[in-house]
Structure 1
Amino acid sequence: MKRSWINSPYTFALGMFAMMVPSQAFTSFYSYFYVEKLGLGIGLATLARTIFLIWDAVNNPLFGYWSDRTNTRYGRRRPWVFGAIPLFMLFFVLVFSPPSGLSENGLFIWFLVTLVLFEAAATVLWVNYGALFPELFRGDRLRAKASAIQQGYQVVALLIATALTPVIYAAINFSNMALLYACIFGLFMLLCMMSVRENPESNQGEQLGLIPAFKETMKNKKFWVFNISNSFAQTVNGLISSMIPFYAKYVLNISEAQVSILLAAVFVSVIPLVFVWYWIIRKMDGVKAWRLSLYVYGLSVIPLWFGYDLVSGIIAGVAVGFGLAGFFVTPALVGGRIIDEDEEKTGLRREGIYTAVAGFITRSSGLISALAFLIAGMIFGYESGDNPGASPELTFRYLISVVPLCLLVISVVLSYTVKFNFSENKRGDHDLEQTEAINR
């Protein structure tokens, strides 16, 4: 492989594309496949999901801790990723390939076991891939560029996984769809990892034991404030994407076929807008850029309140895309700074455990979204499509605009509860030289 592609943001971002295609397809369609297509009871499906979340809470910090303690000639993270690639492919295919003729209990067991196995392999990948980012890319400017490229690749993967998946499984069935996506994942993840060269110096030093490592992480106030603040903003991501079909039906009064146009207005606009945010970040400190993105995201959801047809919905969607792009790009800068500061304090690179715990906090945002939906439904009387209540339009105007605005206000307020007075970040140029030395 050419030296110019070693530790390049462009080749590293292939890993994000590789993981997001099957992961988003899984998130979007596994419930539909098991409940609607195979007839698994919604109660059993919910039970499996609950067990899955408990397992996720346990294994995330453990895999991060073990990753930090790995020390091989091939690096700390790459051996984990290479080992997880075939397992991730296998378990993803198995999730969508249950044997025919299973009873409901048998289907539940298959679903639960494959879900847990798939999640374990996915955790290994996400923790170690995420831990590589702050190590490979040092300094705000380089991290901003790498994050912008990474999020552009992510949006392309989201479009493929959400828009094309129904077409693919209708043509070749769910099992073959899973096999196709597994192969796409394997190819691009291998290309990504072949381009990565870890810094040998990161392997040096005796890592903290399990309990001290957790204590050191738990008492890092900046880490917790940053990630809890982000979890409220992350809730907005999930809430808006899940409310768009309801918003389209009850507020914009457009057909289901036009929903894809509305979704495209949001996600396609994000691709160029992440590079606008890269330009903005180059002009200011990373922490200020992160806070600015939260402000902008909050303002960007206001136009959704005023939507009334497809055209106004698209305009509002593009506005949301600008806010979303900022939130996609900027957190990587602050998260990287927190890990850098931890290294200055402990003398160790502990990206694994920080990435793992942050990932769990972020995924817990789904609970906030579900609670918001439940409360709004109770207030306005919305129960289901069969019983939408007296004011379904008002229900979804609040859920797609007012509730996200309130959540983002909380996110901004939390961001000011601790001062992120990091030591001046002058490491970027040094680390670029170090990266060039590794390439040679």
Structure 2
Amino acid sequence: MREKHLNSPVGYAMGMLAMMIPVQAFSSYYSYYYVEKLGLAVGLATLARTIYLIWDALDQPIFGYLSDMTRTRFGRRRPWIIAAMPLFICSFVMVFAVPEGIEGMQLFTWFLIALMLYETVSTVLWVNYGALFPELFRGDRPRAKASAIQQVFQIIALLIASALTPILFTAYGFRNMALLFGLAFALFMSICMLYVREKEDIHQEAPLKFMEAFRETLKNKEFWIFNIANSFAQTVNGLLGSIIPFYAKYVLKVPESQVSILLASIFVSVIPLVAVWYWVVRKLGGVKGWRLALAFYGLSVIPLWFAKDLGSGIAAGAIAGFGLSGFLVTPAVISGQIIDRDTLKTGRRREGIYTAVAGFITRSSGLISALSFWIVGMLFGYVSGTNPGPNPEATFKILVSAVPFSLLMVSFVISMFLRIPPNDQKKADLE
């Protein structure tokens, strides 16, 4: 039975389920927890994210290169993932386990240290998990299918986290909520590792030297166009997730207990729609499908501007889910194509360093998100939950609709410059 499902899309997707439950809880509520609940100023929260990004710029490519260089009988990626699992649980709990009574600079210091530890261990997990994808699944159709299944599991994780997070922290507190999600992560990631095995033939390749590896990666034009476009779109994902609790409170004026309903409206619609985007990729190819997804995503956030209550918010969220589903499915296909072309050129599979550098570019979108929050908040006088300013409704309408629309239009324009010759892709699929 186990051999039958070895390296199956479902087995691999269990890792996405494992990571996205705590990650969604983190991305949706860490700002709300520190800014709204604990009173950390938005400016200090933005400063902490900026310091983290400086470190993230260093650790992402280092861990990617170390992963590519790893040679063990258990594979290159699996040992890193297994070793990082307990550290991830500890750092995730630390984010939401702030000691009582600390405030001001003490709160800022705790937030910064917890954030850097959490993001460092997350880097190890995401780099190595992401590097497995192009190795295990070759060609547009297998990758589109695997990506679609992976995103279904991601949406299930988002629904679980979105529905349970406010219930759990209301009933048991943020610390115990984090502990429960950490245990769920351990269970599902263990199942993933049980059903994933790396291909033995690539373990014997001699890796490129550190500087040579970076030169080959950084001078790849297609890589930069794709990931810069993706970074703007990824900003929207993070921005929507973190702003929805504020949007629900100040724009829709619904209680905290109903925030999970609003988040669910976005994610539920995604599950059936990933099949639509799988069909789009099969018909149009990876690049055109990805480009179309960005355009639809941009249009889909417009209705959020006009929502006035929970009912209209749910309807607008469902529409946004259609655009989100396309962006979740299509990028993995393009990323695989870029790595395949690099393999043809260098004679080596270098998923780790490509995944790492791409991860830094897209995760740096967190800075754009944080700056957007700070700038719009400053313009409208929002400082924190204890000092929301004269017009918090306008603040969060702009952050949930106008800013995402603008970012996605930038992403779409950049995507028009990406060209991947189809003949090169066919050769790579045969390797």
**Which residue of 1 is the match for residue 421 of structure 2?**
421
**Which residue of 2 is the match for residue 143 of structure 1?**
143
| Paired AA for residue 218 in structure 1 | L
- TM-score when scaled to structure 2? 0.88
Change beyond 3 A, Cα 1:162–1:307: closer
* Aligned 8 A contact 1:140 1:428 in 2: no
* Aligned 8 A contact 2:148 2:275 in 1: yes
How far 1:249 moved relative to its partner?
5.0
1: CA distance between counterparts of 2:372 and 2:105?
Answer: 32
Deviations 1:209-231 (A, max 9, x none): 11111111111010011000011
How far 1:255 moved relative to its partner?
5.1
1: CA distance between counterparts of 2:28 and 2:294?
Answer: 26
Secondary structure of 2:417's aligned partner = coil
| Paired AA for residue 4 in structure 2 | S
* Aligned 8 A contact 2:32 2:242 in 1: no
Secondary structure of 2:154's aligned partner = helix
How far 1:415 moved relative to its partner?
1.0
2: CA distance between counterparts of 1:195 and 1:18?
Answer: 14
How far 1:98 moved relative to its partner?
6.0
Change beyond 3 A, Cα 1:163–1:273: same
- TM-score when scaled to structure 1? 0.86
1: CA distance between counterparts of 2:430 and 2:325?
Answer: 29
How far 1:425 moved relative to its partner?
3.7
How far 1:418 moved relative to its partner?
3.6
How far 1:53 moved relative to its partner?
2.6
TM alignment of 1:341-352, pairs within 5 A: 341-352=341-352
How far 1:316 moved relative to its partner?
2.2
Does residue 5 (structure 1) correspond to residue 28 (structure 2)? The answer is no
Change beyond 3 A, Cα 1:255–1:197: closer
Change beyond 3 A, Cα 1:44–1:397: closer
Which shifted more, 277-286 or 157-166? 157-166
**Which residue of 1 is the match for residue 278 of structure 2?**
278
Change beyond 3 A, Cα 1:184–1:400: closer
**Which residue of 1 is the match for residue 326 of structure 2?**
326
* Aligned 8 A contact 1:141 1:428 in 2: no
Does residue 17 (structure 1) correspond to residue 43 (structure 2)? The answer is no
TM alignment of 1:85-164, pairs within 5 A: 85-97=85-97, 112-164=112-164
Which shifted more, 28-37 or 137-146? 28-37
How far 1:275 moved relative to its partner?
1.8
Change beyond 3 A, Cα 1:38–1:404: closer
Does residue 169 (structure 1) correspond to residue 162 (structure 2)? The answer is no
TM alignment of 1:258-407, pairs within 5 A: 258-377=258-377, 388-389=389-390, 396-407=396-407
Query: What's the Cα RMSD here?
Result: 3.1
Deviations 1:153-204 (A, max 9, x none): 1122222223312322343444433332222111111110111111112223
TM alignment of 1:428-439, pairs within 5 A: none
Which shifted more, 396-405 or 245-254? 245-254
How far 1:144 moved relative to its partner?
0.9
How far 1:81 moved relative to its partner?
1.2
TM alignment of 1:143-292, pairs within 5 A: 143-248=143-248, 251-252=251-252, 254=254, 256-292=256-292
Change beyond 3 A, Cα 1:387–1:22: closer
* Aligned 8 A contact 1:236 1:407 in 2: yes
Q: Percent identity?
A: 63
Deviations 1:306-337 (A, max 9, x none): 43444333222211111100000000000010
| Paired AA for residue 54 in structure 1 | I
2: CA distance between counterparts of 1:253 and 1:102?
Answer: 30
* Aligned 8 A contact 1:20 1:157 in 2: yes
Change beyond 3 A, Cα 1:84–1:255: closer
2: CA distance between counterparts of 1:375 and 1:58?
Answer: 27
Change beyond 3 A, Cα 1:299–1:192: same
Secondary structure of 2:284's aligned partner = coil
**Which residue of 2 is the match for residue 435 of structure 1?**
none
How far 1:11 moved relative to its partner?
1.1
* Aligned 8 A contact 2:28 2:242 in 1: no
**Which residue of 2 is the match for residue 434 of structure 1?**
none
| Residues matched between the structures, number | 430
* Aligned 8 A contact 2:340 2:429 in 1: no
| Paired AA for residue 336 in structure 2 | G
**Which residue of 2 is the match for residue 76 of structure 1?**
76
Deviations 1:106-142 (A, max 9, x none): 7766655444333322211110000001110111111
* Aligned 8 A contact 2:49 2:367 in 1: no
Unaligned residue ranges in structure 2 (runs of 5+): none
Change beyond 3 A, Cα 1:139–1:28: same
* Aligned 8 A contact 1:138 1:427 in 2: no
Change beyond 3 A, Cα 1:137–1:169: same
